[in-house]
Amino acid sequence: MAVVIGAVMPVIVKLLLLLLCLNFNSSLTQARKWESWKDKYPFIKPASSFSSSNAWSSGSSKGHNYDYIIVGGGTAGCPLAATLSQKFNVLLLERGGVPFANANVSLMQNFHISLADTSPHSASQIFASTDGVFNARARVLGGGTCINAGFYSRASQSYIKKAGWDSKLVNESFPWIEKQIVHKPILAPWQKAVSDGLLEVGISPYNGFTYDHIYGTKFGGTLFDRFGHRKTAADLLTSANPEKLDVLVHAMVQKIEFDTSGRKPRAVGVIFKDEKGNQHTAFLSKRKGSEIIVSSGAIGSPQILLLSGIGPKAELKKLNISVVFDNKFVGKGMSDNPLNTIFVPTNRPVQQSLIQTVGITKMGVYIEASSGYGETEDSIHCHHGIVSAEIGQLSAIPPKQRTLEAIEVYKRNKKHVPQEAFRGGFILEKIATPLSTGHISLKSTKVDDSPSVTFNYFSHPRDLKRCVDGIRIVEQIVKSKHFTTYAQCDKDTLDKLLNMSVQANINLIPKHTNDTESLEQFCKDTVTTIWHYHGGCQVGKVVTPDYRVMNVNRLRVIDGSTFNESPGTNPQATVLMMGRYMGVKILRERLGRAAGL
């Protein structure tokens, strides 16, 4: 196979390559962006429109008497807000901006841009875990649905049963999401080749197109339509009652306020800053049943609880945070599904595709695929940013050594990498239910500082064994007859691909000299993320089965931070469903079946 082996790069490369030379549309003013969609979403406004008296400057009759305040307008927060607004006044606070006028969010061809954009207003906030793995948090209305690969696949029936959810309501909530924002993909040639390869190596039966989580090989739904335009959780807000919903963007929630005069602390409001740096307080209605609901994701939700004084007493006191309730489990049980990837260079350009095909094995490993990145001369030779993860990139260099001189050397070296090195597809293997866990802790009392996050990848030996099993499946697929259309890959070539992957700078983990006989070391050295981290506010430890924060009144957490394991092959379908499910459940509990939902 005529390729430069040094171009082999696991999936982080895929996520940070290509198209960063495109115009970021910086010439568009914020006013023009508002203008393009404000008629459709009249209830979405900048946080600064919230006056110091806690009433809308526009004269809204809702004022500050909110029945529900939702902290985080992401994957769960948007469907939750849309549902609750059918009957009650809702305030949704989102720290990021809107996705609607952002081509870097809306277009599949621009998938990489937000992930590599380190500017303060990017839809994605990059952080590195203490393990040395790059990761990203969404910072935009719509949350992770705005920056992910768009794959949509439901949780398994066993997961739903284990979670204690009402299966009838679950089966009503999934279609509510799917009718509005999910599409059947047009299967790309690379995805078909991987699908055929999966079947050839025994990941069967072939289940065709389905949202369901069943063993074998299938292709699932996508948030991208046939033109490559993305739908997001924010689009679900069209189902809201505009008379009862206020959405504030660029509203950075600082902490939750409590009344501690009673037997249990009682949430009463939230303090947030607007885009101009001014501080506001929004209060809950005193009506029975009113609640603050935190839906800020697996990083943001435990962080908000900790900043608000709910968490391990000793940790809070170190930062002089007043303790509202001592709970040693807040921020604990963090887990991320480790991902390892093989880049397969091809003898021709391949069509761009994100995740469409998946092999659901009985070994506790999922196999997925993507393709078609970095095919043009411009995208190869342009400067992809300080955190890009290509061969010769700077992310493995300590920050203080990332000088202008180092950047110039990087750019010069990159020009000598042949175009063939960037042409090909990826086969991904993800561990389904990792047993390795970590934790999150505050580095400061500033909410816009990402906390310290540790996942402890492969600290449990079973995780490492499953990774090795997954890599062996990928090896078999790469050598299957269905890949002869794209590339010839014999054993010697595959060994070189694996060995050179270890040298690719795709994380900050120290590299080891090893060969293909040490797949355990390969897994450790080339681990990346697929953004399916979860935990930190788990059921039975931080929240009750109905997601109320233990020993605190009028406060819930509804998002992936409550999960003990990531649902399905990819969690977004389940988190979207969860927002709708819990919205309906809360309304029915408060109003009875007369809620009509």
* Pairing status of strand 291-294 against strand 68-71: parallel
Question: Rounded CA gap, 370 and 343, in Å?
Answer: 10
Judge contact between 64 and 43, C-beta under 8 A.
Answer: no
Q: Please indicate if the annotation marks 253 as binding a ligand.
A: yes
List beta partners, residue 320. none
Question: Rounded CA gap, 306 and 312, in Å?
Answer: 8
**What are the structure tokens assigned to 149, written together?**
């690969």
Question: Rounded CA gap, 488 and 441, in Å?
Answer: 48
Q: Please indicate if the annotation marks 584 as binding a ligand.
A: no
Question: Rounded CA gap, 129 and 108, in Å?
Answer: 27
Question: Rounded CA gap, 548 and 585, in Å?
Answer: 13
Question: Rounded CA gap, 1 and 144, in Å?
Answer: 37
Q: Read out DSSP for 118-147? A: -STT-SEEEEE-TTS-EEEEE-BTTGGGGT
Q: Please indicate if the annotation marks 571 as binding a ligand.
A: yes
Question: Rounded CA gap, 553 and 330, in Å?
Answer: 17
CA dihedral for 551, 553, 555, 560, sign (positive or negative): positive
Catalytic residue among 213, 439, 532, 534: 532
Q: Please indicate if the annotation marks 560 as binding a ligand.
A: yes
Q: Where are the beta strands (DSSP E) in 384-499?
A: 424-431, 438-441, 452-454
Residue 124 phi/psi, 5-degree rounding, is -125, 135
Helix ranges (DSSP H) in 515-564: 519-525
State CA 262 to chain mean position distance. Answer: 38
Q: Please indicate if the annotation marks 338 as binding a ligand.
A: no
Question: Rounded CA gap, 497 and 186, in Å?
Answer: 30
Side chain identity at 592, as an amino acid letter? G
Q: Please indicate if the annotation marks 538 as binding a ligand.
A: no
Q: Please indicate if the annotation marks 567 as binding a ligand.
A: no
Exposure of 306 by Cβ count < 10 A (0-12 exposed, 13-18 middle, 19+ buried)? buried
CA dihedral for 499, 501, 504, 507, sign (positive or negative): negative
Q: Please indicate if the annotation marks 140 as binding a ligand.
A: yes
Q: Measuring CA to CA, which residue among 72, 560, 125 is closest to residue 304?
A: 72
Task: Tell me the HSE value of 49 on the side-chain side, using a 13 A CA sphere.
Answer: 16
Q: Measuring CA to CA, which residue among 23, 475, 66 is closest to residue 268?
A: 66
Fill in the DSSP letter of residue 569. S
Q: Please indicate if the annotation marks 289 as binding a ligand.
A: no
> Does the bond joining 571 to the residue before it have cis omega, within 30 degrees of 0?
no
User: Active-site residue 532, yes or no?
Assistant: yes
Residue ranges for the known binding site for FAD are: 94-95, 140, 253, 531-532, 560, 571-572
The residues carrying an active-site annotation are: 532
